[in-house]
């Protein structure tokens, strides 16, 4: 009887343990549901997040092209990544040549589950689907697909980096020209009083000549 009770308790404990979700099973990777539209030359952010928030600094984060096929000449059938983060750092050794020096993760955001990828200066060749994946997340949804559309008719929206001088429009340049240079304004400031003084001098000299000639005409002849 005791053996039966012990066996029952053991089986119940085993079932309880086996039915308990493994760590991380409640987490999932969620990407932008809408296509991201950008103009050639834009810097874009492919939004991707672990929900609920989870510190993923110690996990591997893979960004890849799901439509890219392995090189048939490669015996290991490896596919390089758009961006690879592992061992607490970014790994450029397995990155596609076209993306080297053009991608980054937000390292401060990794502790909050933010695995969004920023791509600098996109071109039409960058358009397509991207997969963000955490292989060891342990959840049902470990990856998400984000679409990037490059629209050449769209106006470029990339902000000018700090420290660069933004060219002024011709209208603004015209206004600046109308205002004149500081030296010109100084000359104009001194020109007015000089003209006024000159006018008074001319009038004074003319009045003096008039008075002298009038006195001479009034003196009686001897």
10-residue mean pLDDT profile of the chain (222 residues): values are: 42 38 70 96 97 95 91 68 96 93 96 98 97 89 94 68 36 42 52 69 74 63 53
Model-wide pTM > 0.95? no
Assign 116 to helix, strand or coil: coil
- Separation CA 219–CA 222 (nearest Å): 9
CA 82, CA 90: separation in Å to the nearest integer?
Answer: 11
CATH code of the domain occupying 28-69+79-150: 2.60.40.10
Number of H helices, E strands in the chain: 4, 11
The pLDDT of residue 69 is: 81
Residue 170 CA to residue 72 CA, distance in Å, equals 56
Strand residue runs (E) in the chain: 28-31, 36-38, 44-46, 48-51, 61-64, 83-86, 89-90, 103-105, 117-119, 128-133, 143-150
Burial class (CB in 10 A: 0-12, 13-18, 19+), 122: buried
Q: Which two tokens stand for residue 93?
A: 């050794």
Please say whether the dihedral angle defined by the alpha carbons of residues 216, 217, 220 and 222, taken in this order, is positive or negative: positive
pLDDT of residue 191: 66
**pLDDT at site 178:** 44
HSE-up of residue 201 (Cα within 13 Å, Cβ side)? 6
In the chain, where the domains are located:
28-69+79-150
At 186 the pLDDT is 54
What is the number of other CB atoms lying within 10 angstroms of the CB of residue 50?
27
The pLDDT of residue 215 is: 65
Task: Take residue 69 and report the two structure tokens written for it.
Answer: 């096929």
């Amino acid at each position: 009887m005791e053996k039966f009770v012990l066996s029952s308790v053991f089986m119940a404990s085993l079932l309880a343990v086996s039915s308990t979700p493994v760590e991380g099973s409640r987490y999932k990777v969620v990407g932008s549901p809408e296509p991201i539209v950008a103009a050639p030359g834009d810097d874009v952010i492919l939004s991707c997040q672990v929900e609920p928030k989870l510190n993923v600094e110690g996990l591997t984060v893979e960004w890849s092209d799901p439509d890219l096929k392995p090189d048939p000449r490669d015996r290991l059938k490896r596919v390089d990544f758009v961006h690879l983060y592992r061992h607490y750092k970014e790994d450029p050794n397995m990155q596609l040549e076209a993306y080297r020096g053009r991608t980054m993760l937000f390292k401060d955001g990794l502790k909050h589950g933010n695995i969004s990828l920023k791509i600098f200066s996109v071109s039409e060749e960058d358009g397509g689907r991207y997969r963000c994946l955490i292989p060891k997340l342990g959840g049902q949804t470990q990856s998400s697909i984000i679409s990037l559309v490059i629209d050449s008719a769209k106006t470029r929206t990339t902000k000018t980096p700090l420290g660069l001088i933004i060219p002024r429009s011709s209208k603004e340049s015209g206004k600046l020209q109308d205002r004149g240079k500081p030296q010109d304004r100084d000359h104009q400031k001194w020109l007015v009083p000089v003209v006024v003084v000159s006018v008074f001098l001319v009038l004074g000299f003319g009045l003096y000549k008039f008075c002298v000639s009038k006195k001479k005409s009034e003196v009686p002849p001897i």
